[in-house]
Structure 1
């Protein structure tokens, strides 16, 4: 994600660095008749063990309410016997304006209108289930199972809920032109070696952690509404004065969408991927620039990191203060859609596109090890600049990142440890400086010492080994050591843990 604080200095950085632009030719758009997954290698993923979501949601755009039914088929892959399941219910974090996780404090309190999610009914295996809402800001849902669930056994959970969309220009909320549905439904928490992860919705970072699942989602909206979404729109049909969108997404980590009656839609075929742009402007230069940038980023990162496996990718303008990533879907703040800010628009598209690999495909615990996706996404900007504009521009970009980091470190006197939980960061300033910038400088140190080819081998192997899984800092360290043959403990202690 790119937030508004980083955006302030990013505008200057990009304008200084990028002095020329290369536009790619337009490719004729074809119908979206591709399969959801366009690669045959599932990397050993047992598709029968993947959790499945079916969600039906109807949105009342006038009242800013939504009404949902959700069916979850859960497989116990924990190697432990379970007596309960946990879900995140993130919308409850927006119930109180004083504690809502408003990015950067962007939305003034007088403009804020609260949001929430109410659970109306929960069943497990066809029988009504007991449940408890708990955790900070009521964002954790504990569902008691009908019987102990052994390893590899399945449970079927049914949930009915209603939600109120908050007025806030955020991942989840509405502004003047769009309604964003990020982290809007009950999603299973991750069970790992530490047990159930039910951390709250922090105001810093992207406080999410989830496993890949399969989704079938039906979205009902007024007939004048356009839907931009994760996954593939399989069918769109009218029902009276409403429209129903049937969407499928396979092996994705989350499901998000945005709606508006103002979207201008452009599409392009990029090597079998249907890339769509949803913008609020009819400016041809900007709309072509968006598609050109998305195409260059998707093509380059597929070459360097590994093949993008999905058949859809959407770049979506929204009432949002920066940029945000979801599987097959990125939100871009409308402020970037300006001919005077095209370099910044390019950068935020590149950053959020890189997150399709770092977070979307190779997952991680963004609460405890946020650097794993944000540092890699930030360094991917450098890779893009180097491959697109040359090594000199790449080096200049990294020099400016270093200068920026040193300035922030000297001014704020923060603890320089990169790998630590979100609760240990003071605010967005130290979080951004460490998780985005210092982490990217660490990655660049590998390139400087071992060469670009070795770094690319590291990133490719890391992607191929942990695609569709959740990786850790230790996993990344081991891949680095396997490729280089060196012990990375001293390097990581110095850069990531602040240990000389």
Structure 2
């Protein structure tokens, strides 16, 4: 020990994000989802695309053919400020193209409409025994931006391999009456109503 004082230094995530998610679960276990994400550029760069983690795609048949009961994913619409946007989805990397550069301190709204089913024998995102549905990372999560690039790591099936910032969340949900919802909300009741609205601030995921 050299006696020097350790001083922690905060590293900027490069962006601000806020999520408004609508979740509807059918009796068949299929989820219909809408997610609106407010994205603000806190970096010094102009952005030509946004990079999101979309982990449910890792458990689809095309990515994980060894799964007997894989997940399914179908995007209906991705738009930016009301205008349809181009995108690519490869493994868990969802890149959304911007028609105009997003400059520092500017913000936009990104809208996703999609449906999915859960795999069996997934990891955190999975359907387990007794029809329990574990919906970890079920929505597109904006990656952090660092050193002039999106801080997007390759997905690993063990451990947490995603970098996203703490955000505010609003979740509107509608689930079958025989289910209860468990989330990051600190005022939950058990059993939960089958319809409701939750708001959580400054958490890594809902």
So what's the TM-score if we normalise by structure 1? 0.36
Select the structure that is richer in helix. 1
Counterparts of 1:479-498 in structure 2, within 5 Å, are none
What is the match of residue 41 of structure 2? Answer: 76
Deviation at 1:146, TM superposition (A): 3.1
Is 1:55 aligned to 2:30, yes or no? no
What is the match of residue 115 of structure 1? Answer: 71
Deviation at 1:198, TM superposition (A): 2.8
What is the match of residue 96 of structure 1? Answer: 61
Q: Higher RCO, 1 or 2 (CA under 8 Å, sep at least 6)?
A: 2
Give the 3-state SS of the residue equivalent to 2:123 in structure 1: coil
What is the match of residue 119 of structure 2? Answer: 166
What is the match of residue 436 of structure 1? Answer: none
Q: Deviations over 1:159-185 (max 9, x none)?
A: 101111111263011111311001111
Distance 1:233 1:216, change over 3 A: farther
What is the match of residue 98 of structure 2? Answer: 145
Structure 2, unaligned stretches of length 5 or more? 1-9
Give the root-mean-square deviation of aligned CA atoms. Answer: 2.6
Deviation at 1:89, TM superposition (A): 1.1
Q: Deviations over 1:406-457 (max 9, x none)?
A: xxxxxxxxxxxxxxxxxxxxxxxxxxxxxxxxxxxxxxxxxxxxxxxxxxxx
What is the match of residue 197 of structure 1? Answer: 151
Deviation at 1:63, TM superposition (A): 2.5
Distance 2:179 2:166 in 1: 28
Distance 1:145 1:73 in 2: 14
Is 1:249 aligned to 2:183, yes or no? no
Give the 3-state SS of the residue equivalent to 1:92 in structure 2: helix
What is the match of residue 296 of structure 1? Answer: none
Given that 2:59 and 2:122 are in contact with CA atoms closer than 8 Å, whether structure 1 keeps it comes out as: no
Give the 3-state SS of the residue equivalent to 1:91 in structure 2: helix
What is the match of residue 86 of structure 1? Answer: 51
Distance 1:124 1:225 in 2: 34
Give the 3-state SS of the residue equivalent to 1:73 in structure 2: strand
Is 1:130 aligned to 2:61, yes or no? no
Given that 2:57 and 2:63 are in contact with CA atoms closer than 8 Å, whether structure 1 keeps it comes out as: no
Q: Which has the larger radius of gyration?
A: 1
Distance 1:90 1:232 in 2: 25
Count of residues in correspondence between the two structures? 191
Distance 1:163 1:86 in 2: 20
Query: Match for 2:110 among 151, 157, 177?
Result: 157
What is the match of residue 279 of structure 1? Answer: none
What is the match of residue 379 of structure 1? Answer: none
Select the structure that is richer in strand. 2
Counterparts of 1:426-445 in structure 2, within 5 Å, are none
Distance 1:169 1:121, change over 3 A: closer
Distance 1:235 1:247, change over 3 A: farther
Distance 1:121 1:196 in 2: 23
Deviation at 1:69, TM superposition (A): 0.5
Is 1:223 aligned to 2:177, yes or no? yes
